């Protein structure tokens, strides 16, 4: 591979004396404007640099060698757009949901029931067992299923991430639970006496991954679980200021960074190569994402070095060129990698990694996604452009294995990273589509139970009775509803989602309240509760689905604006307490055609996907194993017979029930009730319909 001219930045690696309390540091060290190494040579050189930095001095090494080992020159791309120039999502530390939306209702159900039902001591069971620490009275086992199997211990990490967000909203019961779990995990880490190692399974799992003999206990994707634990600990620090969680995390990073550094580049490449089969032998989650975040918190460059080692040239290079090689790959494995790739690129400015992460998002959302914003069949990316046609899952059309929810969990993370880099309404449009029509629809509104797959034609959802990966990400999804609504940079605010909420924008001293449910056609009202002492620009998204020009008023006076779909309109002024802005976003019924068959359509009202109810006949108990009913046949979905492609001509609204419509003059589809997909549960349904003249 050709090496372009280089301009290096030297990172000084200090001994392991990292301060525990360092404000989130978006380093300004990345100041050079150009120069980078591409491809495998960059990856190999990066591997070698990282390895040299952490190898201890041998008896025969020279002082010169030690100095070079401790002052490694990391050659990495850096652009003028350093991480300090990125926008930032405003999260649960500053955003509270208000009553008046399905998001608030599901989050409160989650707070009271779903998340509250998990017992910290059962989540800790395998950690204590490995550390040979006594279990509390009455605790004889952990949770059954994957959390006691090949993903042993993953639920503890997810729980910390979910509970920390709940606690950040002022819920003290979750703060106490998080603090307790962190304290107990620290005891486990100390008792293991393995140089900072912490997991619910022995190090044999990593020995096995590295090709060494021994009993690995069936834990085949250990880095996947390590990522969840480290991410949960960092969330405990970020949301609650728990410095003990940060200390544990740093010790874990030290252990794994040294372990990785002991491997030669060929071994490391083999371990991280996940494109050789549909179900790879390793899945390492978003390790580069969590290590990049640890770097931002501590300012320790070695964590960024370690993060970059997880970004592989076999994945980056084709994507940077815009090539779609995703067909047949395990979707969530590679979406998680793209999340880390985007995060690293936001820090370093690497032009190849920037292009790769942006192209990955574009390829997935345009070529591999369903109308709900989710993707995959039987966990795999299908061929480009396949939506309703014969799939990789036994050539079935829209099988019951569509749209694994973990995938969309990570796609929203990726979308947020890309928006931080470059605020763009297209990213916000997708975020809204996938949040409303996939993730919100995975949660049963009566029990809070979650789904793995989301069937799309003639089937029903199965709500999970175990500790699957999608239960782990699922308990995080609901507390994350606060995220993605608002982003900020300097004195500018972006309003991306129209969900009733209150923002305490502490950086500028402004409190901003949003009310009104756009899904029910309500005008959105913004009130300045507390004003900043300087001029602030507020950017309001005009969604791509508006049916007529949006109307914006300031203190009752209509504002002249362009307001094209998928753009922003801005108001910049010195705001006063009591100022009000209203935004009317006209919505209407419309159809979306499938990419591969224009006669297959889905019905929307504004941002909301409407599904047709197909009944409860012969429904089994839908709280079950994720694969329990995959062989049950779908019910027949009648065609819609109409000469009109305007659904307003054949759907009659219910004046007493917003977003409820009845089909008429459609042939065999007459009488079918259409409602939001996120409201239809415990019955069969369809979101794809064949329309015939």
Query: Does residue 25 carry a pLDDT above 60?
Result: no
Q: What is the pLDDT confidence band of residue 48, given thresholds at 50, 70 and 90?
A: low
Please say whether the beta carbons of 115 and 471 come within 8 A.
no
Question: HSE (CB half, 13 Å, CA atoms) of 562?
Answer: 9
Beta-carbon contacts of residue 157 (< 8 Å; ≥ 6 apart): 225, 227, 228, 229, 230, 231, 232, 233, 472
Q: Over the chain, what is the mean pLDDT?
A: 89
> For 226-235, how does the pLDDT look when each residue is reduced to its tens digit (9 = 90+)?
999 999 999 9
Query: Does residue 38 carry a pLDDT above 50?
Result: no
CA torsion through residues 312, 315, 316, 321, sign? positive
Q: What is the pLDDT of residue 618?
A: 84
Q: What percent of the chain has pLDDT over 70?
A: 88
- CA 399 to each of CA 119, 204, 634: distance values in angstroms, whole numbers, following the listed order: 35, 38, 9
User: Would you tell me how many other CB atoms lie within 10 Å of the CB of residue 6?
Assistant: 12
Query: Does residue 37 carry a pLDDT above 50?
Result: no
User: Please, what is the end-to-end C-alpha distance for the chain in angstroms?
Assistant: 56
Residue 425 tokens, joined: 């309404």
Q: 84-105: string of b/e by CB count within 10 Å (b at 16+)?
A: eebbebbbbbbbbbeebbbbbe
- CA 594 to each of CA 369, 455, 518, 602: distance values in angstroms, whole numbers, following the listed order: 10, 16, 25, 8
Please say whether the beta carbons of 334 and 284 come within 8 A.
no
Strand partners, 488: 88, 493
Mean pLDDT, rounded, for 346-356: 97
Please say whether the beta carbons of 689 and 637 come within 8 A.
yes
Query: Does residue 22 carry a pLDDT above 60?
Result: no
Beta-carbon contacts of residue 395 (< 8 Å; ≥ 6 apart): none
Lowest mean pLDDT among 8-12, 299-303, 447-451, 630-634: 8-12
> For 105-119, how does the pLDDT look when each residue is reduced to its tens digit (9 = 90+)?
999 999 999 999 999
Mean pLDDT, rounded, for 151-171: 97
Mean pLDDT, rounded, for 145-159: 98
Q: What is the pLDDT of residue 84?
A: 54
- Helix (H) / strand (E) element for 293: namely helix 287-298
Q: What is the pLDDT of residue 7?
A: 30
Burial (0-12, 13-18, 19+ Cβ within 10 Å), 384 = middle
- C-alpha closest to that of 472 among 231, 130, 128: 231
Please say whether the beta carbons of 330 and 338 come within 8 A.
no
Strand pairing report for 536-542 and 492-495 = parallel
The one-character DSSP state at 126 is H
Using CA atoms in the order 85, 86, 89, 90, what is the torsion angle rounded to 10 degrees? 0
Q: What is the pLDDT of residue 562?
A: 83
User: Would you tell me how many other CB atoms lie within 10 Å of the CB of residue 295?
Assistant: 25
> For 592-605, how does the pLDDT look when each residue is reduced to its tens digit (9 = 90+)?
999 999 999 999 99
Please say whether the beta carbons of 606 and 630 come within 8 A.
no
Strand pairing report for 689-692 and 640-641 = parallel
> For 648-669, how does the pLDDT look when each residue is reduced to its tens digit (9 = 90+)?
999 999 999 999 999 999 999 9
Mean pLDDT, rounded, for 121-135: 98
User: Would you tell me how many other CB atoms lie within 10 Å of the CB of residue 490?
Assistant: 12
- What domains does the chain contain, in order, with CATH numbers? 9-74 (no CATH), 487-584 (2.60.40)
> For 68-78, how does the pLDDT look when each residue is reduced to its tens digit (9 = 90+)?
123 223 334 33
> How would DSSP label each residue in 336-389?
HHHHHHHHHHHHHB-HHHHHHHHHHHHHHHHHSB-TTS-B-BTTB--STT-SSS
Query: Does residue 586 carry a pLDDT above 80?
Result: yes
Beta-carbon contacts of residue 527 (< 8 Å; ≥ 6 apart): 512, 513, 515, 578, 579, 580
Q: What is the pLDDT of residue 521?
A: 86
Mean pLDDT, rounded, for 80-102: 84
CA atoms of 470 and 465, how far apart (whole Å)? 11
User: Would you tell me how many other CB atoms lie within 10 Å of the CB of residue 528?
Assistant: 19
Query: Does residue 681 carry a pLDDT above 70?
Result: yes
> For 388-439, how does the pLDDT look when each residue is reduced to its tens digit (9 = 90+)?
999 999 999 999 999 999 999 999 999 999 999 999 999 999 999 999 999 9
Query: Does residue 47 carry a pLDDT above 60?
Result: no
CA atoms of 672 and 647, how far apart (whole Å)? 13
Q: 60-83: string of b/e by CB count within 10 Å (b at 16+)?
A: eeeeeeeeebeebebbbbbbeebb
Query: Does residue 169 carry a pLDDT above 80?
Result: yes
Question: HSE (CB half, 13 Å, CA atoms) of 133?
Answer: 19
Mean pLDDT, rounded, for 49-64: 41
Q: What is the pLDDT confidence band of residue 693, given thresholds at 50, 70 and 90?
A: confident
CA atoms of 302 and 74, how far apart (whole Å)? 10
Q: What is the pLDDT confidence band of residue 182, given thresholds at 50, 70 and 90?
A: very high
> For 496-522, how does the pLDDT look when each residue is reduced to its tens digit (9 = 90+)?
999 999 999 999 999 999 999 998 889
Query: Does residue 528 carry a pLDDT above 70?
Result: yes
The one-character DSSP state at 557 is E
Query: Does residue 533 carry a pLDDT above 90?
Result: yes
Mean pLDDT, rounded, for 544-566: 95
Query: Does residue 495 carry a pLDDT above 80?
Result: yes
């Amino acid at each position: 591979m050709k090496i372009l001219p280089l301009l290096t930045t030297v990172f000084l690696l200090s001994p392991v004396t990292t301060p525990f309390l360092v404000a989130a540091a978006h380093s300004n060290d990345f100041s050079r404007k150009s120069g980078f190494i591409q491809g495998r040579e960059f990856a190999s050189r990066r591997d070698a640099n990282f390895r040299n930095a952490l190898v201890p001095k041998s008896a025969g090494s020279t002082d010169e060698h030690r100095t070079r080992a401790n002052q490694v020159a990391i050659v990495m791309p850096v652009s003028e757009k350093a991480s300090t120039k990125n926008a930032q999502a405003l999260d649960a530390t500053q955003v509270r949901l208000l009553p008046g939306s399905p998001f608030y209702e599901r989050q409160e159900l989650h707070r009271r029931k779903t998340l509250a039902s998990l017992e910290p001591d059962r989540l800790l069971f395998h950690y204590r067992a490995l550390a040979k620490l006594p279990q509390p009275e009455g605790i004889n086992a952990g949770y059954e299923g994957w959390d006691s199997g090949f993903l042993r211990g993953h639920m503890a990490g997810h729980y910390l991430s979910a509970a920390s967000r709940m606690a950040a909203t002022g819920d003290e019961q979750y703060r106490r639970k998080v603090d307790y779990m962190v304290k107990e995990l620290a005891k486990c880490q100390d008792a293991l006496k393995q140089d900072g190692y912490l997991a619910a399974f022995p190090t044999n799992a990593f020995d096995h991954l590295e090709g060494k003999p021994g009993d690995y206990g069936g834990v085949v994707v250990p880095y996947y679980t390590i990522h969840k634990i480290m991410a949960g600990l960092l969330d405990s620090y970020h949301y609650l200021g728990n410095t003990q969680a940060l200390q544990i995390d740093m010790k874990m990073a030290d252990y794994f960074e040294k372990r990785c550094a002991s491997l030669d580049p060929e071994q490391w490449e083999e371990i991280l190569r996940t494109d050789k089969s549909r179900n790879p032998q390793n899945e390492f989650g978003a390790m580069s994402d969590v290590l990049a975040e640890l770097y931002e918190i501590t300012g320790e460059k070695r964590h960024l070095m370690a993060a970059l080692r997880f970004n592989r040239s076999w994945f980056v290079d084709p994507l940077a060129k815009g090539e779609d090689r995703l067909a047949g790959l395990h979707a969530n494995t590679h979406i998680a990698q793209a999340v880390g790739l985007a995060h690293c690129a936001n820090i370093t400015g690497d032009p190849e990694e920037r292009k790769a992460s942006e192209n990955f998002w574009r390829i997935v959302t345009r070529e591999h996604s369903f109308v709900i914003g989710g993707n995959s069949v039987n966990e795999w990316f299908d061929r480009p452009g396949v939506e309703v046609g014969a799939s990789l899952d036994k050539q079935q059309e829209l099988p019951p294995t569509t749209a694994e929810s973990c995938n969309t969990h990570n796609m929203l993370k990726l979308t947020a990273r890309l928006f931080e880099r470059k605020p763009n309404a297209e990213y916000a449009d997708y975020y809204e589509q996938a949040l409303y029509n996939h993730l919100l629809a995975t949660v049963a509104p009566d029990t809070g139970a979650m789904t793995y797959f989301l069937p799309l034609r003639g089937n029903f959802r199965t709500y999970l009775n175990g500790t699957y990966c999608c239960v782990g990400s699922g308990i995080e999804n609901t507390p994350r509803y606060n995220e993605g609504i608002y982003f900020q940079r300097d004195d500018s605010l972006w309003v991306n989602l129209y969900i009733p909420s209150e923002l305490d924008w502490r950086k500028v001293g402004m409190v901003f309240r949003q009310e009104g449910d756009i899904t029910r056609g309500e005008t959105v009202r913004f009130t300045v509760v507390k004003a900043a002492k300087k001029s602030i620009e507020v950017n309001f998204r005009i969604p791509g689905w508006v049916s007529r020009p949006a109307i914006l008023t300031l203190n009752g006076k209509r504002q002249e604006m362009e307001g094209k779909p998928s753009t922003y309109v801005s108001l910049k002024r010195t705001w006063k307490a009591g100022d009000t802005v209203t935004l009317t976003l006209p919505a209407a019924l419309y159809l979306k055609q499938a990419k591969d068959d224009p006669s297959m359509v889905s019905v929307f009202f504004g941002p909301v996907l409407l599904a047709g109810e197909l009944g409860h006949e012969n429904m089994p108990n839908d709280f079950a194993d994720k694969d329990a009913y995959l062989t049950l046949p779908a019910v027949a979905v009648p065609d819609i017979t109409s000469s009109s492609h305007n659904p307003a001509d054949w759907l009659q609204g219910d004046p007493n029930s917003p977003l409820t419509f009845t089909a008429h003059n459609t042939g065999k589809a007459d009488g079918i009730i259409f409602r939001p997909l996120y409201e239809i549960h415990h019955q069969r349904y369809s979101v794809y319909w064949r329309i015939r003249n």
